[in-house]
Protein backbone atom coordinates (compact mmCIF):
# COMPACT_ATOMS: atom_id res chain seq x y z
CA UNK A 1 0.00 0.00 0.00
CA UNK A 2 1.39 3.38 -0.96
CA UNK A 3 -1.68 5.53 -0.38
CA UNK A 4 -2.42 7.55 2.73
CA UNK A 5 -5.86 8.22 4.16
CA UNK A 6 -6.53 11.95 4.28
CA UNK A 7 -7.95 12.95 7.68
CA UNK A 8 -9.87 16.04 8.61
CA UNK A 9 -9.95 16.96 12.30
CA UNK A 10 -13.07 18.41 13.92
CA UNK A 11 -12.04 20.94 16.52
CA UNK A 12 -8.73 21.87 18.08
CA UNK A 13 -8.92 19.81 21.26
CA UNK A 14 -5.67 19.46 23.19
CA UNK A 15 -5.61 15.68 22.67
CA UNK A 16 -5.69 16.30 18.91
CA UNK A 17 -3.19 19.15 18.81
CA UNK A 18 -0.68 17.72 21.29
CA UNK A 19 -0.87 13.99 20.60
CA UNK A 20 -3.00 12.65 17.76
CA UNK A 21 -2.25 15.02 14.88
CA UNK A 22 1.55 14.87 15.36
CA UNK A 23 1.32 11.08 15.50
CA UNK A 24 -0.77 10.91 12.34
CA UNK A 25 1.69 13.14 10.53
CA UNK A 26 4.50 10.67 11.29
CA UNK A 27 2.48 7.55 10.50
CA UNK A 28 2.66 5.35 7.42
CA UNK A 29 -0.91 5.38 6.14
CA UNK A 30 -2.46 8.55 7.58
CA UNK A 31 -2.08 12.25 6.97
CA UNK A 32 -3.92 15.29 8.32
CA UNK A 33 -5.15 17.40 5.42
CA UNK A 34 -7.46 19.84 7.21
CA UNK A 35 -8.62 21.07 10.59
CA UNK A 36 -11.80 22.93 11.50
CA UNK A 37 -12.75 25.09 14.45
CA UNK A 38 -15.73 27.31 15.08
CA UNK A 39 -13.07 29.98 15.61
CA UNK A 40 -11.39 30.54 12.24
CA UNK A 41 -8.32 32.20 13.76
CA UNK A 42 -7.81 29.25 16.08
CA UNK A 43 -8.02 26.84 13.14
CA UNK A 44 -5.52 28.96 11.23
CA UNK A 45 -3.11 29.12 14.18
CA UNK A 46 -3.18 25.35 14.67
CA UNK A 47 -2.83 24.68 10.95
CA UNK A 48 0.26 26.89 10.78
CA UNK A 49 1.75 25.42 13.94
CA UNK A 50 1.28 21.83 12.77
CA UNK A 51 1.77 22.45 9.05
CA UNK A 52 -1.76 21.40 8.07
CA UNK A 53 -2.67 22.38 4.52
CA UNK A 54 -6.26 23.54 5.02
CA UNK A 55 -8.23 25.13 7.81
CA UNK A 56 -11.91 25.95 8.15
CA UNK A 57 -14.06 28.13 10.39
CA UNK A 58 -16.86 25.58 10.61
CA UNK A 59 -17.18 21.81 10.86
CA UNK A 60 -19.66 21.83 7.98
CA UNK A 61 -17.06 23.27 5.59
CA UNK A 62 -14.58 20.53 6.46
CA UNK A 63 -17.19 17.80 5.96
CA UNK A 64 -17.95 19.25 2.52
CA UNK A 65 -14.31 18.96 1.46
CA UNK A 66 -14.14 16.22 -1.18
CA UNK A 67 -10.41 15.73 -0.54
CA UNK A 68 -11.07 14.43 2.97
CA UNK A 69 -11.43 10.63 3.30
CA UNK A 70 -11.94 10.30 7.05
CA UNK A 71 -12.78 12.37 10.10
CA UNK A 72 -11.07 12.33 13.47
CA UNK A 73 -13.60 13.52 16.05
CA UNK A 74 -12.06 14.72 19.36
CA UNK A 75 -14.91 17.12 20.15
CA UNK A 76 -16.39 17.33 23.66
CA UNK A 77 -18.24 14.15 24.60
CA UNK A 78 -21.73 15.50 23.96
CA UNK A 79 -20.77 16.21 20.33
CA UNK A 80 -19.33 12.78 19.52
CA UNK A 81 -22.53 11.24 18.22
CA UNK A 82 -24.06 14.28 16.44
CA UNK A 83 -20.93 15.10 14.46
CA UNK A 84 -20.01 11.48 13.80
CA UNK A 85 -23.48 11.07 12.29
CA UNK A 86 -22.96 14.18 10.16
CA UNK A 87 -19.58 12.84 9.04
CA UNK A 88 -21.10 9.54 7.95
CA UNK A 89 -23.84 11.38 6.10
CA UNK A 90 -21.12 13.38 4.35
CA UNK A 91 -19.51 10.14 3.18
CA UNK A 92 -16.54 10.19 5.56
CA UNK A 93 -15.06 7.36 7.60
CA UNK A 94 -14.95 8.17 11.33
CA UNK A 95 -12.39 7.70 14.06
CA UNK A 96 -14.21 9.04 17.14
CA UNK A 97 -12.63 9.71 20.51
CA UNK A 98 -13.77 7.83 23.58
CA UNK A 99 -16.30 7.69 25.08
CA UNK A 100 -18.26 7.11 21.89
CA UNK A 101 -21.39 8.65 23.46
CA UNK A 102 -22.95 10.02 26.62
CA UNK A 103 -24.93 6.84 27.19
CA UNK A 104 -25.96 3.57 25.57
CA UNK A 105 -29.01 5.10 23.91
CA UNK A 106 -26.80 7.54 22.02
CA UNK A 107 -24.37 4.76 21.11
CA UNK A 108 -27.28 2.74 19.74
CA UNK A 109 -28.38 5.74 17.69
CA UNK A 110 -24.92 6.00 16.12
CA UNK A 111 -24.80 2.26 15.45
CA UNK A 112 -28.21 2.39 13.75
CA UNK A 113 -27.16 5.28 11.52
CA UNK A 114 -23.85 3.60 10.66
CA UNK A 115 -25.67 0.58 9.24
CA UNK A 116 -27.08 2.86 6.53
CA UNK A 117 -23.49 3.38 5.34
CA UNK A 118 -21.95 -0.11 5.20
CA UNK A 119 -19.07 1.11 3.02
CA UNK A 120 -17.87 3.52 5.69
CA UNK A 121 -15.64 2.53 8.60
CA UNK A 122 -16.26 3.86 12.10
CA UNK A 123 -14.64 2.98 15.41
CA UNK A 124 -14.04 4.26 18.93
CA UNK A 125 -10.53 5.58 19.56
CA UNK A 126 -9.22 3.64 22.55
CA UNK A 127 -5.57 4.03 21.59
CA UNK A 128 -4.13 1.90 24.43
CA UNK A 129 -5.43 -1.29 22.74
CA UNK A 130 -2.88 -0.80 19.97
CA UNK A 131 0.14 -0.25 22.19
CA UNK A 132 2.58 -3.21 22.15
CA UNK A 133 2.68 -3.26 25.96
CA UNK A 134 -0.99 -4.26 26.07
CA UNK A 135 -0.66 -6.73 23.22
CA UNK A 136 2.33 -8.29 25.04
CA UNK A 137 0.34 -8.41 28.28
CA UNK A 138 -2.52 -10.22 26.61
CA UNK A 139 -0.07 -12.66 24.99
CA UNK A 140 1.54 -13.44 28.36
CA UNK A 141 -1.85 -14.13 29.93
CA UNK A 142 -2.92 -16.34 27.02
CA UNK A 143 0.34 -18.29 27.38
CA UNK A 144 -0.47 -19.03 31.02
CA UNK A 145 2.41 -17.00 32.43
CA UNK A 146 0.35 -15.90 35.44
CA UNK A 147 -1.79 -19.04 35.60
CA UNK A 148 -5.55 -18.58 35.53
CA UNK A 149 -6.64 -14.94 35.32
CA UNK A 150 -8.35 -13.92 38.56
CA UNK A 151 -8.58 -10.18 39.07
CA UNK A 152 -7.50 -6.75 37.77
CA UNK A 153 -6.86 -3.62 39.81
CA UNK A 154 -6.75 -0.19 38.14
CA UNK A 155 -6.10 3.31 39.43
CA UNK A 156 -6.17 6.32 37.10
CA UNK A 157 -6.27 9.92 38.31
CA UNK A 158 -5.30 13.53 37.75
CA UNK A 159 -6.23 16.87 39.34
CA UNK A 160 -8.42 19.41 37.54
CA UNK A 161 -10.65 21.80 39.48
CA UNK A 162 -10.93 24.45 36.76
CA UNK A 163 -14.66 25.17 36.40
CA UNK A 164 -14.15 26.09 32.74
CA UNK A 165 -12.48 22.77 31.92
CA UNK A 166 -14.69 20.52 29.81
CA UNK A 167 -14.18 17.68 32.26
CA UNK A 168 -15.97 19.78 34.91
CA UNK A 169 -19.01 20.70 32.80
CA UNK A 170 -21.83 18.18 33.07
CA UNK A 171 -23.70 19.17 29.90
CA UNK A 172 -20.50 18.56 27.91
CA UNK A 173 -20.26 15.00 29.25
CA UNK A 174 -17.73 15.86 31.94
CA UNK A 175 -16.71 13.76 34.91
CA UNK A 176 -14.18 11.14 35.91
CA UNK A 177 -16.12 8.17 34.53
CA UNK A 178 -16.55 9.49 30.97
CA UNK A 179 -13.04 10.91 30.75
CA UNK A 180 -10.88 8.23 32.35
CA UNK A 181 -13.20 5.76 34.06
CA UNK A 182 -13.98 4.35 30.64
CA UNK A 183 -10.42 2.96 30.52
CA UNK A 184 -10.69 0.42 33.36
CA UNK A 185 -14.03 -0.71 31.95
CA UNK A 186 -12.53 -1.13 28.48
CA UNK A 187 -9.31 -2.84 29.59
CA UNK A 188 -11.25 -5.28 31.78
CA UNK A 189 -13.30 -6.37 28.79
CA UNK A 190 -10.12 -6.47 26.69
CA UNK A 191 -8.20 -8.67 29.13
CA UNK A 192 -11.01 -11.01 30.17
CA UNK A 193 -12.22 -11.08 26.55
CA UNK A 194 -15.76 -11.23 27.93
CA UNK A 195 -18.48 -8.96 29.22
CA UNK A 196 -19.07 -8.54 32.98
CA UNK A 197 -22.18 -10.13 34.44
CA UNK A 198 -22.84 -7.42 37.02
CA UNK A 199 -21.31 -4.22 38.38
CA UNK A 200 -21.26 -2.26 41.61
CA UNK A 201 -20.04 1.30 42.06
CA UNK A 202 -19.74 4.25 44.42
CA UNK A 203 -19.49 7.73 42.94
CA UNK A 204 -18.67 11.04 44.62
CA UNK A 205 -19.94 14.12 42.81
CA UNK A 206 -18.82 17.72 43.08
CA UNK A 207 -21.90 19.57 44.36
CA UNK A 208 -21.40 22.70 42.24
CA UNK A 209 -21.02 21.07 38.83
CA UNK A 210 -22.69 17.71 39.61
CA UNK A 211 -19.94 15.83 37.76
CA UNK A 212 -18.43 12.72 39.29
CA UNK A 213 -14.99 13.56 40.66
CA UNK A 214 -14.17 10.15 42.15
CA UNK A 215 -15.61 6.85 40.99
CA UNK A 216 -14.85 3.38 42.27
CA UNK A 217 -16.35 0.14 41.09
CA UNK A 218 -16.17 -3.58 40.65
CA UNK A 219 -16.93 -5.54 37.50
CA UNK A 220 -17.84 -9.17 38.07
CA UNK A 221 -17.01 -11.68 35.35
CA UNK A 222 -17.78 -15.40 35.27
CA UNK A 223 -14.20 -16.25 36.19
CA UNK A 224 -12.94 -13.19 38.02
CA UNK A 225 -13.28 -9.54 38.96
CA UNK A 226 -11.94 -6.12 38.08
CA UNK A 227 -11.82 -3.26 40.57
CA UNK A 228 -11.03 0.35 39.79
CA UNK A 229 -10.84 3.89 41.09
CA UNK A 230 -10.68 6.97 38.88
CA UNK A 231 -10.55 10.58 39.98
CA UNK A 232 -10.22 14.09 38.58
CA UNK A 233 -9.43 15.49 42.03
CA UNK A 234 -6.47 13.31 42.97
CA UNK A 235 -2.74 13.48 42.31
CA UNK A 236 -1.61 12.27 38.89
CA UNK A 237 -1.24 8.52 38.90
CA UNK A 238 -1.99 5.48 36.78
CA UNK A 239 -1.27 1.80 37.25
CA UNK A 240 -2.78 -1.56 36.32
CA UNK A 241 -2.06 -4.83 38.13
CA UNK A 242 -3.34 -8.12 36.73
CA UNK A 243 -3.33 -11.14 39.04
CA UNK A 244 -3.50 -14.83 38.27
CA UNK A 245 -3.12 -18.05 40.24
CA UNK A 246 0.65 -18.18 39.57
CA UNK A 247 1.75 -14.59 39.14
CA UNK A 248 1.07 -10.95 38.41
CA UNK A 249 1.62 -8.45 35.59
CA UNK A 250 2.10 -4.79 36.43
CA UNK A 251 1.70 -2.18 33.71
CA UNK A 252 3.64 0.89 34.75
CA UNK A 253 2.14 3.53 32.43
CA UNK A 254 -0.96 1.79 31.09
CA UNK A 255 -2.78 4.63 29.34
CA UNK A 256 -0.65 7.72 28.65
CA UNK A 257 2.32 5.71 27.44
CA UNK A 258 5.09 8.12 26.33
CA UNK A 259 6.14 8.28 22.68
CA UNK A 260 9.73 9.32 23.41
CA UNK A 261 11.01 6.52 25.61
CA UNK A 262 10.47 2.79 26.14
CA UNK A 263 7.84 1.54 28.55
CA UNK A 264 8.10 -1.38 30.95
CA UNK A 265 5.79 -4.07 32.14
CA UNK A 266 6.69 -6.41 35.00
CA UNK A 267 5.98 -10.11 35.20
CA UNK A 268 6.11 -11.26 38.82
CA UNK A 269 6.03 -14.96 39.70
CA UNK A 270 7.76 -17.47 41.97
CA UNK A 271 9.31 -14.63 44.00
CA UNK A 272 11.05 -13.12 40.96
CA UNK A 273 10.32 -10.05 38.84
CA UNK A 274 11.02 -9.96 35.11
CA UNK A 275 11.22 -6.49 33.60
CA UNK A 276 9.94 -6.55 30.01
CA UNK A 277 11.02 -3.56 27.96
CA UNK A 278 8.68 -2.30 25.23
CA UNK A 279 10.44 -0.31 22.55
CA UNK A 280 9.58 3.30 21.75
CA UNK A 281 6.38 3.73 19.76
CA UNK A 282 3.45 6.11 19.41
CA UNK A 283 0.15 4.44 20.22
CA UNK A 284 -1.82 7.21 18.51
CA UNK A 285 0.08 6.71 15.28
CA UNK A 286 -0.41 2.95 15.42
CA UNK A 287 -4.13 3.43 16.06
CA UNK A 288 -4.47 5.83 13.11
CA UNK A 289 -2.59 3.50 10.79
CA UNK A 290 -4.61 0.45 11.79
CA UNK A 291 -7.82 2.38 11.14
CA UNK A 292 -6.45 3.68 7.83
CA UNK A 293 -5.57 0.15 6.76
CA UNK A 294 -9.13 -1.01 7.33
CA UNK A 295 -10.17 1.63 4.80
CA UNK A 296 -7.38 0.90 2.31
CA UNK A 297 -7.93 -2.86 2.53
CA UNK A 298 -11.71 -2.56 2.84
CA UNK A 299 -11.90 -4.86 5.84
CA UNK A 300 -13.75 -4.76 9.13
CA UNK A 301 -12.45 -2.48 11.87
CA UNK A 302 -10.80 -4.16 14.85
CA UNK A 303 -13.39 -2.77 17.25
CA UNK A 304 -16.83 -2.20 15.70
CA UNK A 305 -19.55 0.02 17.16
CA UNK A 306 -21.18 -3.03 18.72
CA UNK A 307 -18.18 -3.10 21.07
CA UNK A 308 -18.61 0.60 21.85
CA UNK A 309 -22.31 0.02 22.58
CA UNK A 310 -21.49 -2.75 25.09
CA UNK A 311 -18.97 -0.42 26.70
CA UNK A 312 -21.60 2.28 27.18
CA UNK A 313 -24.13 -0.21 28.55
CA UNK A 314 -21.64 -1.08 31.30
CA UNK A 315 -20.94 2.58 32.10
CA UNK A 316 -24.69 3.21 32.30
CA UNK A 317 -24.94 0.29 34.73
CA UNK A 318 -22.11 1.76 36.84
CA UNK A 319 -24.00 5.04 37.20
CA UNK A 320 -27.19 3.12 37.97
CA UNK A 321 -25.43 1.07 40.64
CA UNK A 322 -24.09 4.17 42.36
CA UNK A 323 -27.52 5.79 42.30
CA UNK A 324 -29.39 2.72 43.57
CA UNK A 325 -26.61 1.52 45.90
CA UNK A 326 -26.76 -2.07 44.67
CA UNK A 327 -25.28 -4.46 42.13
CA UNK A 328 -26.69 -4.05 38.64
CA UNK A 329 -26.98 -7.08 36.39
CA UNK A 330 -25.72 -6.56 32.83
CA UNK A 331 -28.28 -7.70 30.31
CA UNK A 332 -26.66 -9.89 27.69
CA UNK A 333 -27.20 -8.41 24.23
CA UNK A 334 -27.62 -10.70 21.25
**Read out DSSP for 266-289?**
EEEETTEEEEEEE----HHHHHHH
pLDDT at 2: 62
Q: Could you report the per-residue pLDDT of 95-111, keeping only the tens digit for each?
A: 999 999 999 999 999 99
Residue 10 has pLDDT above 90, yes or no: yes
pTM of the model: 0.96
289-306: average pLDDT: 97
Q: HSE of 202 in the Cβ direction (CA atoms, 13 Å)? A: 3
pLDDT tens string 113-138: 999 999 999 999 999 999 999 999 99
For residue 333, pLDDT over 70 is answered with no
What is the Cα–Cα distance from 161 to 22, expressed in whole angstroms? Answer: 28
| Contacts of residue 86, Cβ cutoff 8 Å, sequence gap at least 6 | 59, 60, 63
The domains of the chain, with CATH numbers, are: 5-126 (3.40.50.720), 132-280+313-329 (3.30.360.10)
Identify whether the C-beta of residue 172 lies closer than 8 Å to the C-beta of residue 204: no
CA distance 43 to 47: 6
Amino acid sequence: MNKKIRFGVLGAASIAVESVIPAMQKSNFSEVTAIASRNLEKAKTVSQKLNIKKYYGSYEELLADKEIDAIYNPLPNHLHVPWSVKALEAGKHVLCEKPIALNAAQAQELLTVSKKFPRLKITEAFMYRFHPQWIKTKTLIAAGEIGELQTIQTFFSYFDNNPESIVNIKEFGGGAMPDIGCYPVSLSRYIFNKEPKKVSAHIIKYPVSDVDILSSGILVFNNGTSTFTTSIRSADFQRVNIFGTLGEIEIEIPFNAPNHKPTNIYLKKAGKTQKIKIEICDQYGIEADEFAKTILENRDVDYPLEDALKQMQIIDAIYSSAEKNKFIEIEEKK
